[in-house]
Amino acid sequence: MFCSKKKSLEVERIVKANDREYNEKYQYTDNRIHTCKYNILTFLPINLFEQFQRVANVYFLFLLILQLIPEISSLTWFTTIVPLVLVVTMTAVKDATDDYFRHKSDNQVNNRQSEVLIDSKLQNEKWMNVKVGDIIKLENNQFVAADLLLLSSSEPHGLCYIETAELDGETNLKVRHALSVTSELGADISRLAKFDGIVVCEAPNNKLDKFTGVLSWKGSKHSLNNEKIILRGCVLRNTSWCFGMVIFAGPDTKLMQNSGKTKFKRTSIDRLMNTLVLWIFGFLICLGIILAIGNSIWENQVGDQFRTFLFWNEGEKNSVFSGFLTFWSYIIILNTVVPISLYVSVEVIRLGHSYFINWDRKMYYSGKATPAQARTTTLNEELGQIEYVFSDKTGTLTENIMTFKKCSINGRIYGEVHDVLGQKTDMTKKKEAVGFSVNPQADRTLQFFDHHLMESIKMGDPKVHEFLRVLALCHTVMSEENSAGELIYQVQSPDEGALVTAAKNLGFIFKSRTPETITIEELGTLVTYQLLAFLDFNNFRKRMSVIVRNPEGQIKLYSKGADTILFERLHPSNEDLLTLTSDHLSEFAGEGLRTLAIAYRDLDDKYFKEWHKMLEDANAAVDERDERIAGLYEEIERDLMLLGATAVEDKLQEGVIETVTSLSLANIKIWVLTGDKQETAINIGYACNMLTDDMHDVFIIAGNTAVEVREELRKAKENLFGQNRSFSNGHVVFEKKQPLELDSVVEETVTGDYALIINGHSLTVYDQWFITLFNIVYTSLPVLAMGIFDQDVNDQNSMDCPQLYKPGQLNLLFNKHKFFICVAHGIYTSLVLFFIPYGAFYNVAGEDGQHIADYQSFAVTMATSLVIVVSVQIALDTSYWTIINHVFVWGSIATYFSILFTMHSNGLFGIFPRQFPFVGNARHSLTQKCIWLVILLTTVASVMPVVAFRFLKVDLFPTLSDQIRQWQKAQKKARPLRRRKPQTRRSSSRRSGYAFAHQEGYGELITSGKNMRAKNPPPTSGLEKTLYNSTSWIENLCKKTTDTVSSFSQDKTVKL
């Protein structure tokens, strides 16, 4: 893709509506997006450039160049180019496949259809053809094509609702509203086509919550903010249609500005492998130098005696130059020490594991038909090495579905269930729920088991009525009726929805609102309140209030918010009620409920008018506007009269308690991020069993600066110093991704050590074709099969014993110590493979009386022994056999013999005599019994020490994984596994607080009247999920783990 002119950096953007010619002079990008990296022309050069940034690839390319120099090359060029081409090709295919799917996704998005106003009529246009300045029509449930300035909508005052889940993960609907001057355009195509406003705004940026600009139209200027903008990635909801003007398109949209370039991430195993490869390379250099020095010495002392026989001219080759050439020759010969194919094996294994993750039925969520998805194939093994989990609270640990459970009104708790003896009980199933059938507008999903509240309402308790009146009036909920006449609430936060719904079921029904009024139905009677002021919520106030005038002319301030905030603003006469209500709040919080305090204040008419005048002046101020408004809010929200408190339940999601417990047993540290206050955070910790009653040293860090936090941590460490803290061993299914890389390194190390030299100049032990095919044909598939399919412990036992996860965290399965053990094993095996055949062949005749100690027979014997030893070693390392493992392991041996006899055949020698000189050798050597006896002896001598070492280690120092494997084998022979009984959970006994979950700004929107709507389809309602009691489950799990481990240590005589 070429550009004729480089675009200059934008400082501000100027866009004119319905004028493509005007906007083209600024060279704004179109709406086409590109997330792909390559195209047909650039793929090969760019991909090769990326691949040869890897040290291993550059190294083998350098070797290839060296092999083209006859003076130093003792191996033909194909021994290097074949594996190098294979590695590069496989990686290129993988990269091309990934990029193909990116192209496919881009094309799918770019070819979406949108209605664009062109030549005074709406035309269907592909997204990629949309230009800056175009006016687009969106319909309900449609994705937004670009960043738009909202002009008009089907709702009054240009209101529209959007879902921003693709941008910020929030599923609650957000409100956007158009300028009044543009909302009048409506759906009139002729008027929209004549709209020629000019927008001057900020340059493209990635700030999702900020937008500044000015619209100039008809000689007037109108300020623009984020509330007027609909961003690409949003979905239009509950709005029939809307029109918008494109401000940012394609890569300039805020969504694409946030995407950025994907950073390449390396795993800890990658970093360790790179370190080990560098060590191997350093070892190779040192070995080459030592051998080169030896060659120089030999040439100087002995080599001169052979010059006459080799017809070398005097001075043609001195000892130093000979050593220099020999150094490079050894670098070429010993190149297999550097495991290039290891990288390919690791990539293929990661790809296979990513498919396993995608196909895992146990990670499939049927509720939304959502499977697990591995978005990257490069980080899979990190799942077996996790030490910390950071989690949000609301919507992650909890369902974010609020249910009204209890309340305290005037010192009395409503919502508790008592037995016949008057004792509080949680046995709600034996208690009949309060019937709301007399209320046709009641929400049937709400269950309330305390009939005393309904009795108090019917008896006309004024405090109870006032309490419910606050719930019905003090909120930002929007109401509407669906086609069936049912009342539907559009809520900005689930907390408000729960409280308004509870008031509705109890007879105080919020019906509708206008910018000046709120209408509710109080026990069958419609009552309209005049809305005088709306004191909105924000994160600092942690409360919200409304000031209304009732039909009797009284002015009331109704407030709700966090108890710690409202209690500070109560009138002194509330002291006794405050004490009682605080106790109730502690009880609610101990049950894991989220709490809010409810209060009110009677206002004098004269006082309110003076206060309201000051509020109007503050709103019109330019300097310190927010501070002045906040001060006025503080002034009027004082001397409140306490009514009581509410308690709503935000249930933990199904399986949270069990999951947190398993993670804790696996020695994974969990951090939960929440915007709630300290009490809530502590309670959530106890509810999730992150904190337990057995923990005596729970400490709180409350510092506000780095210095304060550091000091508090230091003190906490001093308090905990010296305590014995035991953590369980841990491992899950993903843990197997670590030993698989170790096994690959074993193979590569052994392979490198097998590249031994017969003499110091030009001859290798193995046939050159064997060197070429060993890693890519003879031994690659068994390693891949073990790495992808093997499991030391089955998935159920891994979940039952989370302590198995710990070796992965501590890198016990793949580390430098293990690597050096592998190196020692490789050296030992190399010596056995060389010296046993060498000793057996020394001065020995074959069965036919001919001498068999020739180089070709020796090479075939060693190569055959090597393939069999490696295959047997893989078989011993495999814990979980599948048909694929069998085919790959034994099939590799069969493949070796097939290729061996083919390459040693007369036919292939007749076609390529120089490339296949070992004609007839395989048939001659492998038909003699003594050769097979040597192969058997070599195999046994190579494998037996490993078998003996592992037997003694498992018997004398068994790991938890070893013990569970023995238990699995014993269970298979003894009896089938027992099924666990379903368990129930208990509630925590800790105090909870509540920080009002709401967004700032909706109060201003309500009083402006711009969110008053006509009709909307009903929203879908979520299903409540049942919860499991955790304590007995945890106790059983811990007991099961303890009993299992104990049984292992006690029962050493299990016959397997």
Cβ–Cβ < 8 Å for 271, 183: no
Q: Are strands 235-237 and 159-163 parallel, antiparallel or unpaired?
A: antiparallel
> What is the percentage of the chain residues whose pLDDT exceeds 90?
28
pLDDT over 80 at 249, yes or no: yes
Looking at the DSSP bridge assignments, the partners of residue 288 are: none
Looking at the DSSP bridge assignments, the partners of residue 529 are: 518
- What's the rounded Cα separation, in Å, for the pair 635 and 642? 17
Tokens of 1000: 């700032």
- The radius of gyration of the chain's CA atoms, rounded to the nearest angstrom, is 39
Over residues 345-351, mean pLDDT: 85
Which pLDDT band, with edges at 50, 70 and 90, does 261 fall under? low
759 or 35, greater pLDDT: 35
Give 800-839 pLDDT, tens digit per residue. Answer: 888 888 888 888 888 899 889 988 998 999 999 999 998 8
Tokens of 822: 């592998």
At 530 the three-state DSSP class reads: strand
Amino acid 492: pLDDT: 74
State the Cα angle at 32 between 30 and 35, rounded to 5°: 135
Amino acid 761: pLDDT: 40
Which pLDDT band, with edges at 50, 70 and 90, does 491 fall under? confident
Residues 6+ apart with CB under 8 A from 693: 686, 989
Cβ–Cβ < 8 Å for 743, 877: yes
Reference 538, options 641, 470, 629, 407; nearest CA is 629
Which pLDDT band, with edges at 50, 70 and 90, does 691 fall under? confident
**For 641-779, where are the E strands, in sequence order?**
641-652, 669-673
Which pLDDT band, with edges at 50, 70 and 90, does 134 fall under? very high
Q: How is the beta sheet containing 159-163 ordered, strand by strand?
A: 174-177, 159-163, 235-237
Give 265-317 pLDDT, tens digit per residue. Answer: 678 888 888 888 888 888 889 998 998 998 888 888 876 666 555 555 555 55
Amino acid 300: pLDDT: 81
pLDDT over 90 at 68, yes or no: no
pLDDT over 50 at 250, yes or no: yes
pLDDT over 50 at 1028, yes or no: no
Amino acid 564: pLDDT: 85
Reference 560, options 448, 639, 438, 642; nearest CA is 642
Give me the active site residues, please.
392
pLDDT over 60 at 1019, yes or no: no
Give 391-422 pLDDT, tens digit per residue. Answer: 877 777 888 788 888 999 999 999 876 555 45
Which pLDDT band, with edges at 50, 70 and 90, does 1029 fall under? very low
pLDDT over 90 at 935, yes or no: yes
Q: What's the pTM?
A: 0.68
Min mean pLDDT across 119-133, 531-545, 846-860 is at 846-860
Over residues 849-856, mean pLDDT: 67
Which pLDDT band, with edges at 50, 70 and 90, does 560 fall under? very high
Amino acid 410: pLDDT: 93
Over residues 84-109, mean pLDDT: 85
What sign does the dihedral 971-972-973-975 (CA atoms) show? positive
Tokens of 145: 């094509």
- What's the rounded Cα separation, in Å, for the pair 688 and 672? 10
Residues 6+ apart with CB under 8 A from 174: 161, 162, 163, 164
Which pLDDT band, with edges at 50, 70 and 90, does 432 fall under? low
Which pLDDT band, with edges at 50, 70 and 90, does 636 fall under? very high
Amino acid 1015: pLDDT: 45
482 or 505, greater pLDDT: 505
pLDDT over 90 at 227, yes or no: no
Amino acid 569: pLDDT: 93
Helices then strands, counting H and E runs in the chain, come out as 36, 28
899 or 1041, greater pLDDT: 899
429 or 504, greater pLDDT: 504
Give 861-897 pLDDT, tens digit per residue. Answer: 999 999 999 999 999 989 889 999 999 999 999 999 9
Average pLDDT, the chain: 79
Cβ–Cβ < 8 Å for 148, 136: yes
Amino acid 500: pLDDT: 93
Amino acid 71: pLDDT: 76
pLDDT over 70 at 193, yes or no: yes
Reference 286, options 334, 251, 254, 239; nearest CA is 334
Reference 337, options 266, 292, 272, 288; nearest CA is 288
pLDDT over 80 at 999, yes or no: no
Over residues 777-784, mean pLDDT: 89
- What's the rounded Cα separation, in Å, for the pair 444 and 435? 9
